[in-house]
Amino acid sequence: MFGRVAIRATRATRAAGPSKVARAAFTAGAKLRNIEIISEKEVSAVSFDGGEAKSSTLKVGDKGEEDPARVVPLTQEMYKKMTPTMQKGSIMGKVVIVTGGARGLGNYMARACIEAGAKAMIIFDANPDLGVESAAELHHATNSKIPVEFFAIDVRDASAIKNAVAAVVQKYGAPDVLINSAGIADSNIPAEKYDHDMWRRLIDINLTGSFLVSQAVGKAMMESKKAGSIVLVASMSGSIVNYPQEQSCYNASKAGVIQFGKSLAAEWAKYNIRVNCISPGYMDTALNNVPALDKQKAIWKSLTPQQRLGAVNDLNGLAVFLASDSSAFMTGSNVIIDGGYSLY
């Protein structure tokens, strides 16, 4: 399945404690060893319509229309032929970490960063099987020219994150770019019926997870005394209330991400670390491709001036722009990219 790609999987253990972080590095001349981590194989979705609850499931590994095309890395030869403005818009030679990069929007932004010149791509994702598969595909898609490393990371696990970032620094140097894309969504749940444990789980992944990864990567940037860019993937739901679904927890989590990003930008400007947010509208990802959402998707499209959902690659250009020196004087911003939905 991986063509001529050779795979090497190693383990990085924490300095203290029994927990381990699964790690897979994709380079030439190595073998794949077993990664002993268990993860969910499917996502459950529940829709409440007309007083009835309708359940459906989506296989996590089912990418549907998200199967990627070939990735064309930006080479030094190509870079030298670019105009100064285009060079500034690249991320040539930078080390990039993408959380939630095994699929969907995070995976596409990872691909865009490689095409914009990233010298190494590191993916953090909670799904080990899909993470290994996606990292191998990405490495192979570059004709094995760009190293891609995967860490099976739950963004709620501060020790695992710290350990993984330390491993990245040891091998590639401090990260230049972090794209925090990991997150989950619960919707169609009235606030008065919201389960407390579900609330805590979503807040922990979407908001606390963004904090923990940003903190670990930010410290690495500070210690290396190098400039850095952190991109937090929030949502238009952090600025507006969605219709018709009820999703108070998700909205609150993304509002928190936006304000967290502004706070980090103010605190870390003195370290030459920029922090900005991307707030997508309704996106046509695999997680939205469930029958239970068909009626709502029709409403979402009708309320969007462009009359469509965002494509999985519609965030790519903005992500690269915020990661690059083209946005060098931009920090603390929240960029809404929603086809005009929030205009009304």
Residues 234 and 236: their CA atoms lie apart, in Å, by: 7
Instruction: Answer yes or no: are the C-beta atoms of 342 and 298 closer than 8 Å.
Output: no
Q: Is 344 among the catalytic positions?
A: no
235 catalytic per annotation: yes
The whole-angstrom separation of Cα 265 and Cα 99 is: 19
Give the residue from 61, 74, 72, 65 showing the smallest Cα distance to 1.
Answer: 61
Alpha carbons 187 and 42: distance in angstroms, whole number:
17
DSSP reduced 3-state for 311: coil
Which of 108, 172, 250, 282 is the catalytic position?
Answer: 250
Kind plus residue range of the DSSP H or E element containing 179: strand 177-180
- Buried b / exposed e over 145-159, threshold 16 CB at 10 Å, is ebbbbbbbbbbebee
**Is 250 among the catalytic positions?**
yes
State the catalytic residue, choosing from 47, 214, 235, 253: 235
| C-alpha gyration radius of the chain | 20
Burial class (CB in 10 A: 0-12, 13-18, 19+), 138: buried
**Cis peptide leading into residue 147 (ω within 30°):** no
What letter represents residue 170's amino acid? Answer: Q
Question: Which residue among the candidates 254, 262, 324, 341 is catalytic per the annotation?
Answer: 254
Active site residues: 235, 250, 254
